[in-house]
Structure 1
Amino acid sequence: MIMQQIQDNNLQQTDVIIIGAGPSGSSAAALLRHKGIQVTIIEKQHFPRFSIGESLLPQSMVFLEEAGLLEIVKDHVERCAFQFKNGAAFLRGQQRSFYDFTQKFSDGPGTTWQVRRGDFDHLLAKQAQKYGADIRFGHEVLDVNVELAHPVVTVKSEQGGVYQLQGKFLLDASGFGRILPKFLNLESPSNFPVRRALFTHIEDGIANDASFDRNKILITVHEKDHRAWYWLIPFADGRSSFGVVAEQDFFDAYLTGNADLDQHEQLLKRILADDPSLSHVLNAAKFDTPVRTLVGYSANVKHLAQSNYALLGNAGEFLDPVFSSGVTIALKSSSLAIPLVERTLNGEQIDWLTEYEQPLRQGIQIFRAYVEAWYSGEFQDVVFSTLKNPEIERMIASLLAGYAWDMNNPMHKNAKRRLATLAEYCRDDQPQAKVLDV
C-alpha cells in the first residue's frame, strides 16, 4: 500500500471525491453542485480524448436535463457535427429492419444524437466546471483508503507531485479504468464470453446512398457468423464511427495464413469485405484514422456501493456495446446515487443495496436479457421477422431507446423468457401478440 500515516498538515479536503470526468462523473458533479456540495474530480487524461460509445439513447436526454447539461449539448450540435438520431436500423444479408424511437411505448424523449465522445464528454466536463466542480486533469489515483469514515485517495499530478485528498464520500466514475474495483478487489467475472471490438472513424462516403438513414445507427449481423456484428454510427459531417465485435475465434479465422493482417486496419478491412451488404454501403469509405481494439470489456463487481463509496457507470458494470447502453447506464447511476450521497452527507444511514444497487441493476438486467438474446440469435430472429406486431414493436423500441427502467413496459416482465417465446413465434410465423400472455 502506498498510503502511509496521514499527516493533517498536507491532507486536502473536499465534500465529495469523484474519480473520472466522463459522463457519469461530470453529471454527478453537476448534480452535486446544484445542491451546493463541494466536488473534486480526479481525471487521469486531458480532454478532449477519444472514446467509443458514441450513439446516445433518448433516455439519456432526461438525465442530461436533470443535471443541467442538456442545453450545452444542444448549443454545440452544429459546431461538433452531432448527428440527429431517431432510431436503430438493422441489416443481415438482404434483410433490413428498423425501430423508430419516436413510436416507443414509454413516455419521454424519442430522439437524441450520435456524438464524438471526445467533444461530448468535454462539453459536459466544462459545464460541470462552470457549476463550480474542481476538475484536476492529468492527475492519477495511486491508492485509496475507504476504511476511514471519510475516504482518502493518494493522487499524483502530471508534474510528479503526490498529495492526499479526503472527502466525505467517494464516487468511482473511472469507466474502463475501474479504479475502485481494482484497488478494493471488487471485480467479479462476467458471464459473457470474452469479446473483442475493432473500431475506428472513417470518411464514410455514403451521402448519396438512399438505403442508408443517417438518423439511425446501423447494426449489421455478419452473414457467416451471427455472433459477430458491425456498428456504423454516422456523424453529421460525412464521417462515421465504424467497428466490428466478435469473439476471438472469429478474428483468428481471418488471421490464419494472413501474416499481413496483424495490422488492425487490414484486419478490419478484410472483415468488412466479407460482408457484401455492408461493403456495398461503405464502398466509397476512406480509412484515415488509426484502428483501435478493446478486448474483454464486459465486467461485473461484487457490489456497487458501501457506506462511504459508490461505483458509477462502467466502473461498476459494463455489458456490451451492441445496444449502446453504456452512457445511459452511466447517467442513470449518477441520477440515482447523488440524492443518496446528499442524504449521507446530512448524516442519514443509507441502505445502498436497496436504494441504489437493486434499482440500478433492475434496468441493467433488462439490457442484459436483450444482449444475451442478441448473441444467442433469438433477438435477431425477432428483429428480422416479417410478421411484426405493432404493439410489441413499440415496447421493444422503448428498450432500444434506453427506457430499461420503465417497469410498466409489459416486455420487461420476465424479459428473458418472453424474448425466447417471442423468437419462437417469429420462427414459426405465429402472431407475436401471444407473447404478452406469457
Structure 2
Amino acid sequence: MINQTEQTDVVVIGAGPSGALVSALLRQRGWHVVVLEGQHFPRFSIGESLLPQCMAYLSEAGMDDVVDKHAEELGFQFKNGAAFHYQGTDTAIDFTDKFSAGRGTTYQVKRAAFDKLLADTAQAQGVEIRYGHRVEALQEHDEHIELSVASEQQSYRLQARFVLDASGFGRVLPRLLELERRSSLPTRTAYFCHINDHISAANFDRNKILISVHPQHRDIWYWLIPFADGSASLGVVGEPEYFDEALSEQQNLWRLVGQEPNLAALLDSAQAITDTQRLGGYSADVSRLYGRRYALLGNAGEFLDPVFSSGVTIALKSASLAAPVVDGFLRGEKVDFDKDFAQPLKQGVECFKTFVLAWYDGRFQDVIFYPQQRSDVRRMISAILAGYAWDETNPYVAQSERRLDVLATLCNMEAQ
C-alpha cells in the first residue's frame, strides 16, 4: 500500500560506482540526492579489474584518495598493466608506459568492498542512500518524474526533477521505458568464480590481470584477476555453443580451464571459494541515452564485453559527463545532453568497441602477440587499454577502426 509521496531534486537508481560518483558530484553542487539501491551492500559483482583512467574520474569527488587510503586494508591488489598468453607465447602491456597523460596504475578489487567504500564515501558527503528500495514503475510529467518505490517496510511515491539510472545490469529505466535494443555484438556467456589460487610460478605477475586465449578457439578467452590476499577471480568467456548445458556451471568453467595448458598449470592447486556463476547475453544497448528528465549511466545504457575491463571506466565516465549537465538543467540553464553527454560518452565507447570486435575476430590478437612492436604504437595501444579512450590526440582513438585494421594487416603480413 502506497502511503506517502516524497520530493527530491535528483533520484539515482543504483549505488554502484557510477551511482556513487554522480550522486556525490551533484551533492557537491548543492542538490538533494536520493539513491535507491535494490540490494544491500556489501554484495558481489563482477568487473573487478579497474583501469587507471577510473582514478581520474573518482578524483572529481575525492574518492581516489579514499581508495588509495583503504586499498591495503581491503585487500585491493596494485595493478600496473595486463598480461596475455596464447599457445605458449606471453606478452604484457605496461600501463605506466603509455601515450596519454595521467595515472598509470590502479587496483584489482573485490567489488563488494570497493562498491561499499564508494557508497559510504558518497554518504559521508551528504548523499542519502536507501538500500533495499526498488523502483517498480514511473510516470513522466512536465515538471518531474514520479517513481513508485517498494522496500521491505513500505511502498511510496518519490518525485524527482531528474532521474539517473545507474542500475547496471538491472537496467531499470530501459525496461520501464522500453528503451532496450539488441546489441550489435554476438551473444556470449561467462562462467566465473573466486578461488584461492595457490600460484607458485615465479614468473607470474600479480600486478597484472592475465588474459589467456584458448589454444584452438581464439574467440574463447579467460580472465585471472589476482587479489592481494592470495585469492583471485577466474572466468571464461565464449559463445554459448562452446559450453555444455548438461554440465553444471562449475564443470563448464573447469572443463574449459583444463583446455588451456598454461592456465591449467598455474591453477593446478587452486581451490574454489565461491560457487561458479553464469552470466549470459550480457552485451546490451539502448535506443537513447537520455530523455527530458532522465539519463542512463554505465551498463544501464550500453555494456560491451568484459575482455578489456572497460565497464567501470565507462560507468564512471558517464557519471563525470552527466553531473555538470544535470546541474545546469536543474538551474534552468539551456543544456545540450546530446552534445555534452551522449556524444562524448559514445566516442570512447566506440573506441573500446573497435578493440573488442578486433579481439574476437583475431586482428587485435595479431597485434598484441606480434613480437616486434614499435614502441610509439605500443604506447598508444597501452593508453587505450589503460582506459584513456577519450583522448583524441591519440591516433588510435581518433581513427580507431582504420588505424587498427592497417596495423593488424601489417602484423599479420610480417608474421607470415
Cα deviation code 1:85-119 (max 9, x no counterpart): 00000000201111000000000000000000000
Q: Report whether the alignment pairs 1:333 with 2:311.
A: no
Cα deviation code 1:51-106 (max 9, x no counterpart): 00000000000001112211221221111110000000000020111100000000
> In 1, distance between residues paired with 2:242 and 2:403?
29
Structure 1 segments (4+ residues) deviating >4 Å = none
Query: Which SS does the other structure have where 1:209 is aligned?
Result: coil
Cα deviation code 1:216-261 (max 9, x no counterpart): 0000001111010000000001100000000001113xx6xxx5xx
Provide the residue aligned with 2:55 in structure 1. 61
Cα deviation code 1:356-405 (max 9, x no counterpart): 10010001000000000000000000000012000000000000000000
Provide the residue aligned with 2:67 in structure 1. 73
> In 1, distance between residues paired with 2:105 and 2:218?
28
Shift of 1:410: 1.1
Task: After superposing the two structures, state which structure 1 stretch, 117-126 or 148-157, moved more.
Answer: 148-157
Q: Report whether the alignment pairs 1:198 with 2:183.
A: no
* Structure 2 contact 10–163 (Cα < 8 Å) conserved: yes
Question: Within 5 Å, which residues of 2 pair with 1:162-201?
Answer: 162-201=155-194
> In 2, distance between residues paired with 1:326 and 1:29?
19
Name the amino acid aligned to 1:377: G
Provide the residue aligned with 1:292 in structure 2. 277
- Give 2:126's match in structure 1, choosing from 113, 128, 132: 132
> In 1, distance between residues paired with 2:31 and 2:71?
30
Provide the residue aligned with 2:400 in structure 1. 415
- Give 1:218's match in structure 2, choosing from 210, 222, 225: 210
- Give 1:146's match in structure 2, choosing from 140, 144, 168: 140
* Structure 2 contact 213–220 (Cα < 8 Å) conserved: yes
> In 2, distance between residues paired with 1:367 and 1:146?
33
Query: Which SS does the other structure have where 1:306 is aligned?
Result: coil
- Give 1:305's match in structure 2, choosing from 287, 290, 311: 290
Unaligned runs of 5+ in 2: none
Unaligned runs of 5+ in 1: 431-438
Q: Report whether the alignment pairs 1:235 with 2:242.
A: no
* Structure 1 contact 97–384 (Cα < 8 Å) conserved: yes
Query: Which SS does the other structure have where 1:102 is aligned?
Result: coil
Query: Which SS does the other structure have where 2:160 is aligned?
Result: strand
> In 1, distance between residues paired with 2:397 and 2:274?
40
Shift of 1:288: 2.4
- Give 2:45's match in structure 1, choosing from 13, 32, 51: 51
> In 2, distance between residues paired with 1:146 and 1:82?
42
* Structure 2 contact 285–301 (Cα < 8 Å) conserved: yes
* Structure 1 contact 30–68 (Cα < 8 Å) conserved: no
The root-mean-square deviation of aligned C-alpha atoms, in Å, is: 1.3
Provide the residue aligned with 1:358 in structure 2. 343
Provide the residue aligned with 1:121 in structure 2. 115
Query: Which SS does the other structure have where 2:113 is aligned?
Result: helix
- Give 1:23's match in structure 2, choosing from 17, 21, 27: 17
Task: After superposing the two structures, state which structure 1 stretch, 212-221 or 146-155, moved more.
Answer: 146-155
> In 1, distance between residues paired with 2:135 and 2:196?
37
* Structure 1 contact 387–429 (Cα < 8 Å) conserved: no
Provide the residue aligned with 1:371 in structure 2. 356
> In 1, distance between residues paired with 2:335 and 2:175?
24
Shift of 1:149: 2.5
Name the amino acid aligned to 1:422: L
Shift of 1:147: 3.6
Provide the residue aligned with 1:12 in structure 2. 6
Provide the residue aligned with 1:435 in structure 2. none
> In 2, distance between residues paired with 1:216 and 1:196?
23
* Structure 1 contact 146–309 (Cα < 8 Å) conserved: no
Shift of 1:413: 2.7
Query: Which SS does the other structure have where 1:75 is aligned?
Result: helix
> In 1, distance between residues paired with 2:45 and 2:267?
22
* Structure 2 contact 35–128 (Cα < 8 Å) conserved: yes
> In 2, distance between residues paired with 1:113 and 1:371?
22
> In 1, distance between residues paired with 2:273 and 2:98?
37
Name the amino acid aligned to 2:37: E
Shift of 1:146: 2.3
Shift of 1:336: 0.3
* Structure 2 contact 395–403 (Cα < 8 Å) conserved: no
Name the amino acid aligned to 2:405: A
Shift of 1:414: 2.3
- Give 2:380's match in structure 1, choosing from 389, 392, 395: 395
Question: Within 5 Å, which residues of 2 pair with 1:74-113?
Answer: 74-113=68-107
Query: Which SS does the other structure have where 1:41 is aligned?
Result: strand
* Structure 2 contact 23–127 (Cα < 8 Å) conserved: yes
* Structure 2 contact 145–160 (Cα < 8 Å) conserved: yes
> In 1, distance between residues paired with 2:412 and 2:13?
47
Name the amino acid aligned to 1:121: D
Shift of 1:148: 3.6
> In 2, distance between residues paired with 1:309 and 1:373?
33
Query: Which SS does the other structure have where 1:340 is aligned?
Result: helix
* Structure 2 contact 325–336 (Cα < 8 Å) conserved: no
Shift of 1:211: 2.0
% identical equivalent positions: 53
TM-score (normalizing by structure 2): 0.98
